[in-house]
Each structure stands twice: as structure tokens, then as C-alpha cells.
Chain A
């Protein structure tokens, strides 16, 4: 399978714990995106990488959230001191980064986080 993969697929944690999610994009893709989706809503942009550089972070991302893409390949999203409001599906997507006006994003299956 050469698509975008995410690990774990499901995570249940207790309030106050730290969690880390991993995303492996399609290998030749330069751009990597993180989104959050809550029930009944469309995804919301969290952050975006061009290779290893994190170019934008949404105001949704509090200081408890951090994302890295250390070698321009896989990325991790960490949430510290989780809160019940963090319960959501966390989606990763990647794109080639060749389009001048945007390019097709390929989504992973998501990590569903439940904070008890």
C-alpha cells in the first residue's frame, strides 16, 4: 500500500495524558497537512509542512499541540495534557506540492482519539 498511513488508528486515553500520532505520507510528496474533524463537522486545518518546514499553524492549535516533520518524511502530532475537548478524528494528508494554484491532497485513514 503506497497511500498515506497513520498510526494508531484508535487511541483512548485519560484526561491529562500525553498522546502522539504518526503520519507517513506518500513518499514523493513534499507537503503534509494535519486536520481535525469532530462529529458532524468538516475537517479543520491544524498545520502544514513543506518538506521539514512547518509553514503555518492554525489558531486552533493551542500550546499543548506540537507537530514535527524532522526529515521531511513522516510527521508526528503530539497533544500534551489531553482534555475531553481534544476528542476527535485527526487526519493527515499529503500532496505533491507541484501545483501553482493548489494540488490534490491524499488523505490517510485518520486516528480517532477519545479522551475519557
Chain B
């Protein structure tokens, strides 16, 4: 079983829909990261959070440490949001918070 599980693996939405991507992890963490990867490989960090909720534009990330679960929400989705969204966790073993363990990613396609 992977340490970081994402769902769904694939998600297709219509423009304007509210989108939720989920991430569950099985290890103790120092922080959780949400990243976006466009075709061709470029990865952009969206959020790093260790508690609560963060918001940036139409993107919202939440984390529940007790339940070891995080969600990434996209409001008013747009075709340019189409990408792979990856959840990654930084460990807290001996302070090794730098080492990220990644989920497999969620492929989001937003149709116009």
C-alpha cells in the first residue's frame, strides 16, 4: 500500500464545476504539499500546509491531521486548470521534513 493515496485517479469536469481531489496518507508528516504538473513535465507548488486551510485565488486546500486527510478544491473550474494534481507529504522522522513522498497524481480534465 502506498504511503500517499489520491482519489480519484482521473476526473473530468465541465467548465464552472466545483472540483475536489482527495489525499490520504499513512505516515506522520511535518507538512503536506499540493503540486500541479502540466503536460511536458513542469511542476509548480500550489500549497504547503501543516494544519487548517489555505486559499489562493480559486484554489483551496484543507488538511485534517487527525484523520490524515487533505483535500484540494477548485472553484469555478476552467479548461486551463486541466493538469495533473499531485499530493506529497514531508516526513517527520528525525526532522527529515525535506524528503517528499508523492502520490500518483490525479489527472483533471476540464471541458469547455
Query: Do the two chains belong together in a single complex?
Result: yes
A93-B35 Cα distance, complex, nearest whole Å: 13
Contact indicator A45/B100 (Cβ below 8 Å): yes
A99-B33 Cα distance, complex, nearest whole Å: 14
Shortest beta-carbon distance from B40 to chain A in Å = 8
Contact indicator A48/B99 (Cβ below 8 Å): yes
A-B contact count (CB 8 A): 70
A-B residue pairs in contact (CB < 8 Å), sample of 14: A37-B41, A41-B105, A42-B4, A56-B96, A56-B99, A89-B41, A102-B30, A102-B31, A103-B98, A107-B44, A107-B45, A109-B40, A110-B42, A112-B41
A45-B100 Cα distance, complex, nearest whole Å: 7
Q: Which residues of B contact A (CB under 8 A)?
A: 4, 30-31, 33, 35, 40-45, 48, 50, 86, 88, 90, 92, 96-105
Contacts of A112 in B (CB 8 A): 41
Contact indicator B42/A109 (Cβ below 8 Å): yes
